[in-house]
């Protein structure tokens, strides 16, 4: 396994840590000996296997609430001296039932826009306030295969809101570059994010039948982007699907 020794002892916040991708990212960053604050999208349950170093905030709406984001960031800075990395995994997840646009309710659309996009906005704004002051830091957004090469009917709400994060990353890469901060994206395989071997395909669309890249493979790219090995990489999207 690749080891990025410069990550050791640095602190990371991972949102959506209870998603398949989020969980894999937490495990990868802990394996790299980072201090990981795992922020779940939902209230932790008995079964949830959150990181030992988690500061799981027990507020259901914390992912999209300004005060909670700000408080969590301050807690992490207080505990670890700063925030070196944000990985925003939280947000819409791929649907497994092949929904069409007419199946997407007002509430479901709103949920995707708020959790994926407003969440990315609030959490990146929250950590960047601290990163700008230290003149260093790294942000990685988790986007989706559906937003890069739509093959599976994972839902237009999932595809377009995850796709928005590639634009946000490109913008922030330019705005935050002069502050020494890098912002990148990893687009994960839809089936891997959903935890299934395959999803319904979009109509009339042929594709090679390849097994989906695993969450762990996506998580390794996150570690790479966070490390000094990617010091000259900002504003890009790495596609972790085949």
Binding residues for other proteins, rule: CB under 8 A, are 66, 100-102, 104, 106, 109, 113, 117-118, 120-122, 124-125, 128-129, 132, 146-147, 150-151, 153, 156-157, 159-168, 170-176, 202-205
* Contact between residue 237 and residue 225 where contact means Cβ atoms under 8 Å apart: no
- We find the least distance from the C-beta atom of residue 101 to other proteins, in angstroms, to be 5
Residues in Cβ contact with 98 at an 8 Å cutoff, skipping those fewer than 6 apart? 153, 199, 200
- We find the least distance from the C-beta atom of residue 204 to other proteins, in angstroms, to be 5
Helix axes 20-31, 215-226, angle to 10 degrees: 50
Which residue lies nearer to other proteins by CB, 52 or 204? 204
Which residue lies nearer to other proteins by CB, 20 or 162? 162
Which residue lies nearer to other proteins by CB, 44 or 121? 121
Which residue lies nearer to other proteins by CB, 174 or 242? 174
- We find the least distance from the C-beta atom of residue 157 to other proteins, in angstroms, to be 8
- How far is 175 from 186, CA to CA, in rounded Å? 20
Which residue lies nearer to other proteins by CB, 51 or 115? 115
Which residue lies nearer to other proteins by CB, 128 or 225? 128
- We find the least distance from the C-beta atom of residue 99 to other proteins, in angstroms, to be 9
SS3 of residue 234 by DSSP: coil
Q: Which two tokens stand for residue 124?
A: 């990146």
Q: Which two tokens stand for residue 158?
A: 């999932």
The number of beta carbons lying within 10 Å of the beta carbon of residue 130 is 17
- We find the least distance from the C-beta atom of residue 209 to other proteins, in angstroms, to be 17
Q: Which two tokens stand for residue 57?
A: 């905030």
- We find the least distance from the C-beta atom of residue 33 to other proteins, in angstroms, to be 30
* Location of structure tokens 């992490």: 76
* Contact between residue 155 and residue 93 where contact means Cβ atoms under 8 Å apart: no
SS3 of residue 165 by DSSP: helix
């Amino acid at each position: 396994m690749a080891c990025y020794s410069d990550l050791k002892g640095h602190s990371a916040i991972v949102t959506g840590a209870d998603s398949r991708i989020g969980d894999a990212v937490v495990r990868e960053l802990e394996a790299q000996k980072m201090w990981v604050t795992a922020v779940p999208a939902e209230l932790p349950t008995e079964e949830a296997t959150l990181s030992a170093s988690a500061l799981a905030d027990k507020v259901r709406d914390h992912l999209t609430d300004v005060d909670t984001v700000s408080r969590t960031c301050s807690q992490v800075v207080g505990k670890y001296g700063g925030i070196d990395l944000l990985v925003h995994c939280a947000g819409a997840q791929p649907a497994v039932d092949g929904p069409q646009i007419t199946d997407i309710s007002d509430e479901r659309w709103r949920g995707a826009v708020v959790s994926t996009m407003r969440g990315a906005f609030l959490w990146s704004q929250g950590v960047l306030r601290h990163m700008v002051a230290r003149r260093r830091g790294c942000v990685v957004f988790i986007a989706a295969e559906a937003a890069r090469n739509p093959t599976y009917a994972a839902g237009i709400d999932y595809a377009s809101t995850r796709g928005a994060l590639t634009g946000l990353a490109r913008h922030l890469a330019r705005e935050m570059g002069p502050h020494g901060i890098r912002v990148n994206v990893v687009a994960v395989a839809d089936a891997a994010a959903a935890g299934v071997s395959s999803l319904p395909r979009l109509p009339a669309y042929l594709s090679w039948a390849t097994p989906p890249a695993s969450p762990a493979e996506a998580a390794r790219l996150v570690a790479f982007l966070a490390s000094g090995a990617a010091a000259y990489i900002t504003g890009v999207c790495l596609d972790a699907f085949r």
